[in-house]
Amino acid sequence: MILKTFAGGIDPASVGLSQNETRFRLGGYAGHDDITDGLIKKCEKTLFSAAAPRWCAVLTEVSYPSEDKVELGFGEIHSRDLYKNLYPCRLAYVFALTLGSGVDRALRRLSKTSEAEFYVFDALSSAYAEDICDECERLLKGEGKTRPRYSPGYGDVALETQRPLLSYINAQRLTGITLSDACLMSPSKSITAIMGVNNEDT
Amino acid sequence: MKILEKLKTGRLFFDGGTGTVLQSLGLAPGEAPESWTLTRPDVIKSLHERYLDAGADIIKTNTFGVNCVKYDAYEEYITRAVALAKEATGERRDKYVAYDIGPTGRLLEPLGDLAFEDAVGIFAKGVKCAAKAGVDLILIETMNDLYETKAALLAAKECSDLPVFVTNAYDESSRLMTGAYPESVIALLEGMGADAIGLNCSFGPDRMAEIVKTYVARASVPVIVNPNAGLPSVKDGRTVYDLSAEDFAERTAELARAGAHIVGGCCGTDPEYIRKTVEKVKEIPYVYPEKKNHSVICAYTKALEIGERPLLIGERINPTGKKRLKEALRENDLSYVIGEGVKQAEAGAHILDVNVGLPEIDETSMMVKVVRELQEVTDLPLQIDTANRTAMERACRVYNGVPLINSVNGKEESMEAVLPVAAKYGGVVIALTLDGDGIPDTAQKRVRIAERIAARAEKYGIGKYRLVVDPLCLTVSSDRNAPRVTLEAVKELKSRGFFVSLGVSNVSFGLPSRDMINMTFFAEALENGLDLAIMNPFSKEMTDVYHAFTALNGYDTGFEEYIAYAEKSVPEKKSETPGDAAFTLDRLIVRGMKKEAAELTAKLLETTDGLEIVNTLIIPALGEVGEAYESKRAYLPQLIMSAEAASASFDVIRASLPSGKTDESRKFIIATVRGDVHDIGKNIVRVLLESYSFKVYDLGKDVPPEKVLDCVKETGCRLVGLSALMTTTVPAMKETIELLHSYDPEIKVIVGGAVLNEEYARMINADAYGKEATDTVRYAEEYYER
């Protein structure tokens, strides 16, 4: 059963781009290269004007039909890993976020105009999606204690879980995220996640 | 009475939500509302009846989520849903059943993976089925992507004669999810013949006020408003909306007072909401919309209104007199074409002309490709410029937005060919003042042709405001009075309420220092009221005139544009000019300075042989960056930038090779294989081969095996070079070789690239391995000597 829903836009001005994540996404870039630094600066500007982050989430009850099954309200998920991640949480947040189609348009444009900028912009926007994901996590948990978030396609949770998950949280209407036949999300800089809430009595 | 007639007599009411009501009746989360059409038809029918009893005039079939992709049995769902709605309306008079179409749930190309025509096909199947089942109208709703809206509307118009209503879902920024502003949406829908338009879902009535105002001010057709019952939240596992029926009705009444013609509800509303709304809205005076005359073109974001201020149309994507562009089109080199688009956008063009007509290419398929690719890199509106009716139709169809169509003229066959295209796809049409007798020599006669075209356009439902007349400008060198006649025509046309456009540069044809003539003529034409100028945005003289004119005539409040332009056009003080001794070509390449590398290459070519530049400067520079990268002194972005700078250099060298030198009998096909996008090595080999006068067919990078084989078949060339940089793409190389050899074992394939060696090449059955670029040239020479 869904207990609470959340949805809205996130102002890019309120969430910075994390340097560590950016460098990680740039293949372990260590800094001190003026050419790359210049590109990063330029792409950061493009990113902040192209991004229109949106997110939606639900707080839902969790049950565990067996030791390799998790039920969040949209069908049983067969996964030992997710079970280990969540058990014995009775509640979990299921959420999705996207940087929006403006970022995809910029990516496509750069892929045709400058490979170097494309590479850096792609890394930056992936990093920024993680930053927005952190922001969603912060907004959701407040003072509460939660488990590390977990995404479909990771470990033994099938990527196909995306379809019922997105439909359960009404992500298409609320965020514009759609799925291809192969269960890839569009806009491409989007993340879905499941995050258990620690029981108060434990 | 038919619904469109009825609408002229007074306000109509839509029903409210379906999915949210069914949830309150026990529909489980995640369960599809349409499933109840088959499993609980009584509930669906009774919901329709309750809405009709509450005062709704139009009820939506329970088909929002039904389409042929989701359901094999879509016909059954639609037919049964329509039947239930019709049973509910029964004998009631003037009640209407709308076939409800929702989004497919997939994003269209290029952002998603659903092809535009596939989307049209999906919607078409549903429309045909619903029309057969006997609905009164079609409602396309909750669309948050302009392109998908266009696909649905096209299907509705092509597969039925029913009235079509369209409502879009906006977000908090008052745009559709994929970027379109209301002005663009309105222009697209009206242009394509929607009978009523508006908005639904997203949020409650209070937050719709601004967008509704825009719709009422701009739309010539009735405006629909179907808001949610406010914002949702969850209470005890159930979704609730924050507006009560009373509050909803009160606020929706405000929207009716603001001019909405059809009101109803969306998520969270139920029959009680509609009953209260009908009560509150019934007495509000109803004003049927007047015709508005907004001349709007757009791509998928902002609308551009013709007549508000003069606008520039970049003319660089038109092969007439442009050798490099002709070559690019013949060789299918879209990256050059797209590059011209991007540069013009950066230079300040407001619209891009797209003309790809060359006798030796398939204009229709090229036009479609270029339109699609341009729309991936720029959101400027495009001008579809062609004399080929099929190319025009196809381009207007795939175009995401409202096009500028160039052109129709006073000839009977032209009007018959072009006006129906504009009537079907919307758009603004350029009308040339010529007819079967040619271009008249007086302004009055040209104006008469314009009037004639306007009268004919009106018959197709295309108002005068959707025409921009081009009174044509002949070169002054052949007729000294030509510019006077043209300028007089501009003035006369403006006084008769026409918008006016000119291909400004024609005036100087055949004269030296053309910009000098062009800029003065341009200024005069602007002074006479010119709305659109087809010109070269790279000409500083022309853009100077434009910015001075807009600043002097009050179009540039605060002079922000002028100041920004003036600052940009002052020559930069370069600290690292190519002329500096410190920056030789190899340094520029190492530093990834693309533009400078191209400039310096051109300069070097005056004194140095192209091949020597490649061997002594470009290749060593690439080697140096490569080494720096391996040893972690440089990073991937720099590596890519260096490669781009080297490519820019190559392009200049290649363009300098005398074209007459190519020996057409010595052909060579070259490609970087599928999955690999590293083409620097391939480009080096290409330049070398061309300098040895081989005719090279360069298929580019990431080339699938089939494409290489197609080229072999087309050209008859049996000599192929394949390149790969990554180990992961060697299998693709092997696959390509296998395909070629299975087609003809005599085909010779030479391979090269960083991951390969002699042994590896043998393993994948290549006929030869080229360690250095020159090895490939030697191999090719030997091949043709045999």
Distances (CA, A) of B200 to A164, B98, B170, B194, B508: 25, 15, 8, 16, 53
Cis peptide before A152 (omega within 30 of 0): no
What is the per-residue pLDDT for B581? 47
- pLDDT, chain B, mean: 92
Grade residue B199 by pLDDT with cuts at 50, 70 and 90.
very high
Asked if B106 and B178 sit in the same domain, the reply is: yes
Strands A190-197 and B499-503: unpaired
Put simply, the answer to whether B111 touches A186 (Cβ < 8 Å) is: yes
Q: B406 and B353, same structural domain? A: yes
Q: Which of A1, A104, A168 sits opposite B237 (nearest CB)?
A: A1
A120/B29 CB distance under 8 A: no
Residue B322: both structure tokens together: 């442009």
Q: Residue B575: which pLDDT band, with cuts at 50, 70 and 90? A: very low
Residues B135, B64, single domain; the answer is: yes
Number of independent structural domains in chain B: 4
Instruction: Please indicate whether, in this complex, the C-beta atoms of B237 and A187 are within 8 angstroms of each other.
Output: no
Are B177 and A167 inside 8 Å of each other by CB?
no
CB contact under 8 A, A112 and B171: no
Judged by CB atoms closer than 8 Å, whether chains meet at A116 and B342 is answered as no
Residues B603 and B665 in one domain: no
Q: Does A102 touch chain B (CB under 8 A)?
A: yes
**Would you say B538 and B515 are in contact if contact means Cβ atoms under 8 Å apart?**
no
- Residue B483: CATH number of its domain: 3.20.20.20
Alpha-carbon gap: A83 to the closest alpha carbon of chain B (Å):
22
State how far the alpha carbon of B209 is from the alpha carbons of A162, B230, B254, B330, in Å: 36, 13, 8, 52
Selected residues 17-36 of chain A with any CB under 8 Å from a CB in chain B: 26-27, 29, 33, 35-36
Sheet holding A69-71, edge to edge: A63-66, A69-71, A76-78
Q: Are residues B186 and B206 in the same domain?
A: yes
A73: closest CA of chain B, how far (Å):
8
Buried b (16+ CB within 10 A) or exposed e, B638-650: bbbbbbbbbbbbb
B551, B405: one domain = yes
pLDDT at B61: 98
Same domain, B133 and B56: yes
Q: Which residues of B touch A176 (CB under 8 A)?
A: 144, 177-178
Instruction: For chain B, say whether A9 makes contact (Cβ under 8 Å).
Output: yes
Helix (H, G, I), strand (E, B) or coil at B12: strand
Of B653, B675, B699, the residue at which a domain comes to its end is B653
CB contact under 8 A, B635 and A167: no
Q: Residue B525 pLDDT more than 50?
A: yes
The answer to whether residue A4 neighbours chain B at the CB level (below 8 Å) is: yes
Spell out which residues of chain A touch residue B635, defining contact as CB-CB under 8 Å. Answer: 26-27, 29, 33, 36
Is the same domain home to B329 and B453?
A: yes
**Residue B700 counted as domain residue:** yes
Residue B373 falls within a domain, yes or no? Answer: yes
Are residues B73 and B152 part of one domain?
yes
Within an 8 Å CB–CB cutoff, is residue A119 touching chain B?
A: yes
Q: Is B445 a member of any domain?
A: yes
Q: Find which of B23, B173, B640 to mutate to test the A interface (most A CBs within 10 Å of its CB).
A: B640
DSSP label at B507? Answer: G
The whole-number pLDDT of residue B446 equals: 97
B735 within domain boundaries: yes
Residue B102 to residue A132: CA distance in whole angstroms: 30
Whether B68 and B178 map to the same domain: the answer is: yes
What is the ipTM score, two decimals?
A: 0.81
Domain membership of residue B293 (yes or no) is: no
Return the C-alpha torsion angle B626, B632, B633, B635, nearest 10.
Answer: 70
The CATH number that applies at residue B183 is 3.20.20.330
Q: A115 and B173 in contact by Cβ < 8 A?
A: no
Two tokens, residue B378: 């720029």
Q: Taking the CB of residue A108, how many other CB atoms lie within 10 A of it?
A: 18
> Does the residue B334 lie in any domain?
yes
Contacts of B169 in chain A (CB under 8 A): 173
A187 close contact with B: CB closer than 8 A: yes
Residue that finishes a domain, picked among B281, B300, B321? B281
pLDDT tens digits for range B437-491:
999 999 999 999 999 999 999 999 999 999 999 999 999 998 899 999 999 999 9
Residues B380 and B481 in one domain: yes
Q: Are residues B85 and B226 in the same domain?
A: yes
**How many Cβ pairs closer than 8 A exist between chain A and B?**
118
Q: What is the pLDDT along chain A (202 residues), one digit of tens a residue?
A: 888 888 889 999 899 998 888 888 887 777 777 778 888 999 999 999 999 999 999 999 999 999 999 999 998 999 999 999 999 999 999 999 999 999 999 998 888 888 788 889 999 999 999 999 999 999 998 878 899 999 998 889 999 999 999 999 989 888 999 998 888 899 999 999 999 999 886 5
Give the chain B residue whose CA is nearest to the CA of A174.
B202
- A120 CB neighbours in chain B (<8 A) are 637
Q: Which residue of A has its CA nearest to B677?
A: A115
Phi, psi of B746 (to 5 degrees): -80, -10
Tell which of B638, B653, B668 closes a domain. Answer: B653
Question: How far off is chain B from A87, nearest CA to CA, in Å?
Answer: 22
Residue B339 in any domain: the answer is yes
From B653's Cα to the closest Cα of chain A, the distance in A is 20
**Which residues from B are below 8 Å from A9, CB to CB?**
171-173
> Could you read off the pLDDT of B289-317 as tens digits, one per residue?
999 999 999 999 999 999 999 999 999 99
CATH of the domain at B646: 1.10.1240.10
**What residue numbers bound the domain in which B176 lies?**
3-281
Contact A115 B644 (CB under 8 A): yes
Span B543-560, pLDDT tens digits? 999 999 999 999 988 888
What's the CATH number where B675 sits? 3.40.50.280
What are A40-58's pLDDT values in tens digits? 999 999 999 999 999 999 9
> Three-class SS of residue B729?
helix
CB-based contact, A52 to chain B, within 8 Å:
yes
Assess A39–B contact: CB distance below 8 Å, yes or no. yes
Residues of chain B with Cβ-Cβ distance to A187 below 8 Å are 107, 111
- Chain A residues with CB under 8 Å of B377 CB are 108-109, 112-113
Q: Which domains does chain A have, with CATH numbers?
A: 2-197 (3.40.109.40)
